[in-house]
Amino acid sequence: MALRRVVVTGLGALTPIGNTAAEFWQGLVNGKSGAAPITRFDAGKFRTKFACEVKNFNAEDHFDRKEARKMDPFTQYALVVSDEAIKDSTLDLEKIIRDRAGVIWGSGIGGLKTFQDEVRSYTLGEGTPRFNPFFIPKMIADISAGYISIKYGFRGPNFVTVSACASATNAIIDALNYIRLGHMDIAMSGGSEAAVTEAGMGGFNAMKALSERNDSPETASRPFDKYRDGFVLGEGAAAIILEEYEHAKARGAKIYAELIGGGMSADAHHITAPHPEGLGATNVMVNALADAKISPEEVDYINVHGTSTPLGDISETLAIKKVFGDHAYNLNISSTKSMTGHLLGAAGAIEASACLMALENGMAPPTINHFTDDDQLDNKLNLTFNTAQKRDLNVVLSNTFGFGGHNTSIIFKKLAD
């Protein structure tokens, strides 16, 4: 059976460096850092006192007060970016077959703030235990996809993938395959996360995953720099509309790019540390290239996982050299997490959006905050340090890896009729 082609026809983004897809892209090309002291709560007692928060977001600008109170921030973010993506796609919801439209979303943690607040309220209370009747519906990760499908009447496949920081990319790959195989024509895909909470910061601090560069938050996320000391926690969401090519063509849709392949693999090594030789990262990129039916030499740019952790950055560059050989030195490579921080389960959606806009604008976004070369890395690689680089991009690849050894890669290509 011939697989159907899948294209991207809409984008939406809510990030620490911009509250729309256009603002996000401007933040990327300008090398804007989203890291700043935490405003959500008093972080004075935490080892890390900063994060990449979404700024100037007021839920009541998008929902009425009663409706907003029923949703955790990660669901609010999901609905806001979905709305932007629908508008950007120019889909006429009255003309599509909604039984053939689905929602496949990603979130690594879901309603962490809701869980934290409800348990805190219970433990501090006296007498009969009382929980908000919306506690469970606000907390569970799948509720984001449920809300999106209800809002737009999408009655096709509907679920949320949970694979830690690979979640959103897993969702995009699932959506790709459901459309390829003819199970639906349109998919809202992407991811959302809102883990900048006391529980989120405390938990990641306890495992020593976060940067503690409190004297300079804006430079704390520094992938590939010799003195990187952990990732910066981020929050936000991004949505992409995936559509079967002939369906999009028939309605005259603007097409950002074709999604030509996706790969998955497991490190089978450690619950949090990457394979030291990049075995899983190597396999996932090989799998994605095979699925896309292209050679390594056709790739122009890689948006790497690049979290700014001592081990992760080394293993990923080793994997790139294994997969791409001499062509690795022709690639533009960058970590946009240097600007957005790490959005956990939403990272893959944010970075897929960055890749799509890089294709559209012929520009590789930078890896900011590079000050000192690391002798453990191959410094002949073009890691696009500090300044965006103009380049005629045709094929781009995005990597996202998650705790538990989950690895995902997706590949976009400029549309060829």
Confidence grade of residue 124 (pLDDT, cut at 50, 70, 90): confident
Give the active site residue among 247, 275, 305, 370.
305
Q: What pLDDT does 339 receive?
A: 98
pLDDT score of 131 more than 70: yes
* pLDDT at residue 126 greater than cutoff 70: no
- Percent of the chain past pLDDT 90, that is, above it, reads 94
Q: Is the pTM of this model over 0.95?
A: yes
305 is catalytic: yes
Q: What is the mean pLDDT of the chain?
A: 96
Residue the block writes with tokens 């890691």: 383
Catalytic one of 247, 342, 370, 406: 342
Is residue 211 predicted with pLDDT exceeding 80?
A: yes
Cα dist. 319→116, 312, 373 in Å?
38, 11, 19
**270 catalytic residue (yes or no):** no
Question: How many CB atoms are located within 10 Å of the residue 116 CB?
Answer: 17
Q: Looking at the predicted structure, is the pLDDT value of residue 214 above 90?
A: yes
The pLDDT of residue 199 is: 97
Do residues 228 and 216 lie in contact, with contact meaning Cβ atoms separated by under 8 Å? no
Residue 269 is among the residues annotated as catalytic for this protein: no
Is residue 92 very low, low, confident or very high in pLDDT (cuts 50, 70, 90)? Answer: very high
Name, in order, each residue with C-beta under 8 angstroms of 368's C-beta and a sequence gap of 6 or more.
31, 33, 222, 338, 339, 385, 386
Residue 127 is predicted with a pLDDT of 66
pLDDT at 348 over 80: yes
- Quick one: DSSP state of residue 275? P
Domains of the chain with bracketed CATH: 6-250 (3.40.47.10), 262-413 (3.40.47.10)
Take residue 38 and report the two structure tokens written for it.
Answer: 């935490």
Query: What is the pLDDT at residue 1?
Result: 72
Tell me the sheet residues that pair with 13: 238
Taking residue 402's Cβ as centre, other Cβ atoms within 10 Å add up to 24
Of 227, 268, 260, 276, nearest to 398 (Cα)?
A: 260
Model pLDDT for residues 358-413, shown as the tens digit of each residue: 999 999 999 999 999 999 999 999 999 999 999 999 999 999 999 999 999 999 99
User: pLDDT (tens digit, 9 = 90+) per residue, 101-112?
Assistant: 999 999 999 999
Question: Strand ranges (DSSP E) for 133-244?
Answer: 158-161, 186-193, 236-244
In this prediction, residue 2 has a pLDDT band, given cuts at 50, 70 and 90, of confident
pLDDT (average), residues 181-205: 98
Q: What is the mean pLDDT of residues 14-31?
A: 98
241-300: per-residue pLDDT in tens? 999 999 999 999 999 999 999 999 999 999 988 898 999 999 999 999 999 999 999 999
Evaluate the CA torsion angle 204, 206, 207, 211 in order and state its sign: positive
| pLDDT at res. 106 | 98
